[in-house]
């Protein structure tokens, strides 16, 4: 391709973007706008890339002339929709092609194989080009090397010229370099937050990765444990037990997160979560934790109607100072909370079996809802020197 100073300027801009942490939507908008300013007849474009996420299969940035790019996500269960099954992007992926092009102008327009092309032709588009730029990043689907795909469309009479296609092909590789670093960073953040939690994942990515790194944190601790799990695991088939266990986690962990808590760990069939005492103070954290506990018990009762196996749990809430950081050995770390408050929550949860109450909280937490709780007395927790006053819902 002949040297084009304008395209070289776009290339230089992409290199500078690649050195930072650009927002893909903003970068794609800037890229398309620069193409238009350079005389490239681009009026519609969509950038799509596969990702590694427990819920999301792929992401995209959609751009139209005069508009900012709009970001979208496609869930794993979206892949069986009719739009996806009859998509040119799917055809390129499954065929492991690097290019697909359709003329949309005139009587011989090729629009029969993909419904989107009929829509584009009706909107006055004359040419549709799909360019795939593979690069190696982990994804949940095996279509060969992952990477990104960009669809380009124009209303220009005669469609894209050979020079325009050559220019798009040349610059898209540079765009891929800039996108790759950002996609890799997004995947790393997703994995860190999925497996460690938002707060812990953020701290790990910010550099708290050494053995012993951490911080002291005032928090309300949520601890729940599934009842009868050992007996269920013994008599149920592994896949049935896994389904049952995930129904319990859906009712507990998801509900805790919906109320502003952060799930730090799944300890077998127990859930350890934290409600940090921050801007709203202790009252706000304790109130959220109490609301979460009530909602968990309500959701378990609803879920019980859909299964013949018992869905019961014990829940404990305690509050105090904890250590939030890396524990383990340098070769194998986990980011969690440790300390007296965490141990107390686990011991109090064990007391729910002894006292026959599904929810037990300490006196300071019960004081946030005095009409809803009553004291049960003072009890000595295993491993603790002094007794603790426990409260249960009335």
Share the mean pLDDT of the chain. 87
One-character DSSP codes across 277-345: --TTHHHHHHHHHHHHHHHHHHHHHHHHTT-SS---EEEEEEEEEEEEEEEEETTEEEEEEESHHHHHH
The predicted pLDDT at position 3 comes to 53
Name 33's Cβ contacts closer than 8 Å, sequence gap at least 6.
Answer: none
What pLDDT band is residue 353 in, cutting at 50, 70 and 90? Answer: very high
What pLDDT band is residue 378 in, cutting at 50, 70 and 90? Answer: very high
Please indicate whether residue 190 or residue 111 has the higher confidence score (pLDDT): 190
The pLDDT tens digits of the residues spanning 248-298 come to 999 999 999 999 999 988 888 899 999 999 878 999 999 999 999 999 999
**What is the average per-residue pLDDT within 15-40?**
92
145 pLDDT more than 60: no
12 pLDDT more than 60: yes
Query: Which SS3 state, helix, strand or coil, does residue 193 take?
Result: helix
What's the CA gap between 256 and 220, in Å, rounded? Answer: 12
The predicted pLDDT at position 139 comes to 67
Query: Which SS3 state, helix, strand or coil, does residue 72 take?
Result: strand
The pLDDT tens digits of the residues spanning 176-219 come to 988 888 888 888 888 877 777 777 777 777 776 676 677 788 99
**What is the average per-residue pLDDT within 109-135?**
89
Q: For residue 157, give both structure tokens.
A: 């009479």
Name 198's Cβ contacts closer than 8 Å, sequence gap at least 6.
Answer: 262
Q: Are strands 313-329 and 359-362 parallel, antiparallel or unpaired?
A: parallel
Task: Give the residue among 244, 376, 221, 224 at the shortest CA–CA distance from 297.
Answer: 224
E-only strand ranges, 70-163: 70-75, 99-103, 127-134, 147-154
The predicted pLDDT at position 297 comes to 95
Least confident of 89-93, 143-147, 165-169, 347-351: 143-147
What is the DSSP-derived secondary structure letter of residue 381?
P
- State residue 69 phi and psi, 5-degree precision: -65, 140
**What is the average per-residue pLDDT within 7-27?**
90
Residues linked to residue 335 through DSSP beta bridges, in sequence order: 326
142 pLDDT more than 70: no
Query: Which SS3 state, helix, strand or coil, does residue 352 take?
Result: helix
Task: State what percent of residues in the chain have pLDDT above 90.
Answer: 52
The predicted pLDDT at position 5 comes to 74
Name 75's Cβ contacts closer than 8 Å, sequence gap at least 6.
Answer: 55, 56, 57
What pLDDT band is residue 390 in, cutting at 50, 70 and 90? Answer: very high
The predicted pLDDT at position 110 comes to 66
What pLDDT band is residue 78 in, cutting at 50, 70 and 90? Answer: low
The pLDDT tens digits of the residues spanning 302-345 come to 988 888 888 899 999 999 988 887 778 888 777 778 888 999 99
Residues linked to residue 130 through DSSP beta bridges, in sequence order: 100, 151
**What is the average per-residue pLDDT within 47-58?**
83
Please indicate whether residue 233 or residue 2 has the higher confidence score (pLDDT): 233
What domains are defined for the chain? 5-195 (3.30.450.40), 208-393 (3.30.70.1230)
**What is the average per-residue pLDDT within 146-166?**
92
The predicted pLDDT at position 275 comes to 95
The pLDDT tens digits of the residues spanning 217-232 come to 899 999 999 998 888 8
Give residue for tokens 């800037």: 30
64 pLDDT more than 60: yes
The predicted pLDDT at position 107 comes to 64
């Amino acid at each position: 391709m002949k040297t084009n100073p304008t395209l070289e300027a776009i290339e230089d801009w992409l290199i500078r973007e690649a050195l930072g942490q650009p927002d893909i939507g903003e970068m794609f908008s800037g890229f398309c706008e620069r193409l238009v300013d350079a005389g490239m007849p681009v009026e519609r474009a969509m950038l799509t890339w596969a990702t590694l996420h427990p819920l999301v299969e792929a992401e995209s940035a959609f751009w139209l002339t005069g508009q900012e790019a709009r970001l979208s996500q496609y869930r794993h269960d979206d892949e069986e929709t009719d739009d996806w099954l009859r998509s040119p992007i799917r055809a390129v992926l499954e065929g492991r092609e690097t290019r697909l092009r359709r003329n949309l102008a005139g009587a011989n327009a090729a629009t029969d194989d993909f419904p989107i092309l009929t829509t584009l032709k009706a909107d006055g588009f004359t040419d549709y080009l799909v360019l795939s730029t593979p690069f190696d990043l982990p994804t949940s689907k095996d279509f060969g090397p992952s990477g990104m795909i960009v669809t380009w469309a124009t209303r220009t009479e005669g469609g894209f010229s050979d020079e325009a296609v050559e220019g798009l092909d040349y610059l898209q590789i540079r765009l891929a370099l800039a996108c790759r670093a950002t996609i890799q960073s997004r995947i790393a953040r997703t994995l860190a937050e999925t497996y460690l939690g938002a707060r812990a994942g953020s701290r790990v990515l910010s550099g708290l990765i050494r053995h012993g790194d951490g911080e002291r944190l005032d928090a309300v601790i949520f601890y729940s444990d599934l009842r009868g799990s050992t007996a269920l695991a013994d008599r149920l088939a592994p896949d049935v037990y896994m389904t049952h266990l995930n129904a319990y986690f859906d009712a507990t962990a998801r509900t805790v997160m919906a109320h502003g808590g952060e799930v730090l760990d799944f300890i077998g069939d127990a859930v350890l979560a934290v409600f940090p005492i921050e801007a709203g103070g202790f009252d706000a954290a304790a109130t959220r934790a109490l609301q979460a506990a009530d909602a968990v018990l309500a959701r378990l009762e609803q879920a019980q109607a859909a299964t013949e196996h018992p869905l019961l749990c014990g829940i404990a809430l305690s509050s105090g100072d904890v250590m939030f950081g890396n524990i383990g050995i340098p070769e194998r770390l986990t980011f969690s909370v440790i300390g007296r408050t965490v141990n107390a929550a686990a011991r109090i949860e064990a007391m729910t079996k002894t006292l026959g109450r599904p929810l037990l909280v300490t006196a300071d937490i019960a004081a946030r809802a005095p009409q809803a709780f009553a004291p049960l007395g003072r009890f000595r927790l295993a491993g603790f020197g002094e007794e603790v006053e426990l409260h249960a819902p009335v």
